[in-house]
């Protein structure tokens, strides 16, 4: 009910679903399941991906189904060491590959992704920019031991060190 009121007031409403809870995610601005949660919620049988996420037909099917089911503006599916996929209504899904870093602990990566995606949207970033920011932040967090945070300086440094950004 609080989420519905916030959404009706034009606020960004984000959710990181837990498949163990039967919550209605309809009307959220963004929902961020991981691949396993997305398949489960979409009713698509789980299978290990045998192709790049950009070519994963089942992942795309799950994402498109959840956009409709949850009536959400954005669906950000985290893919662990493979990065993330951004789904938006009437747009081609955008695959954001992970940023290469040494991984010490994946704890908190998904939380970092949804937090930074939401913060970036609140700061008027485009959804693609928000996903890139979320991806960089998650990469920083997994390069640390234990549940960690990312600082502004670490995030800026991650972008500066990214060879794809030239």
Q: Where are the domains of the chain?
A: 2-165
Catalytic residue among 16, 105, 111, 162: 111
Residues sharing a CB contact under 8 Å with residue 119, sequence separation 6 or more, in sequence order: 133
Closest CA to 110 of 78, 137, 69, 136: 78
Residues sharing a CB contact under 8 Å with residue 54, sequence separation 6 or more, in sequence order: 95
State both tokens at 87: 């789904």
- Is 111 in the active site? yes
CATH superfamily of 2-165: Ribokinase (3.40.1190.20)
Q: What is the pLDDT of residue 165?
A: 62
Give pLDDT tens digits for 65-88: 999 999 999 999 999 888 899 999
Across 43-57, average pLDDT: 86
Q: What is the pLDDT of residue 44?
A: 92
Query: How many other C-beta atoms lie within 10 A of the C-beta of residue 106?
Result: 13
Closest CA to 3 of 22, 28, 30: 28
Which DSSP letter does residue 99 get?
P
In this prediction, residue 155 has a pLDDT band, given cuts at 50, 70 and 90, of very high
Look at the pTM and tell me if it is higher than 0.85: yes
Closest CA to 41 of 70, 14, 13, 15: 70
Alpha-carbon distance of 122 to 37, in angstroms, equals 25
């Amino acid at each position: 009910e609080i989420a519905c009121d916030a959404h009706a007031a034009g606020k960004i409403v984000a959710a990181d679903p837990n498949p163990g809870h039967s919550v209605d995610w309809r009307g959220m601005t963004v929902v961020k399941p991981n691949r396993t949660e997305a398949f489960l919620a979409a009713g698509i049988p789980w299978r290990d991906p045998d192709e790049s996420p950009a070519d994963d037909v089942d992942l795309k099917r799950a994402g498109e189904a959840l956009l409709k089911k949850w009536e959400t503006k954005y669906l950000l599916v985290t893919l662990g060491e493979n990065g993330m996929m951004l789904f938006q209504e009437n747009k081609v899904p955008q695959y954001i590959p992970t940023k290469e870093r040494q991984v010490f602990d994946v704890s908190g990566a998904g939380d970092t992704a949804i937090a930074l995606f939401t913060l970036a949207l609140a700061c008027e970033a485009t959804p693609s920019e928000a996903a890139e920011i979320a991806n960089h932040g998650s990469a920083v967090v997994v390069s640390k031991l234990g549940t960690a945070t990312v600082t502004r300086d670490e995030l800026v440094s991650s972008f500066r060190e990214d060879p794809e950004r030239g």
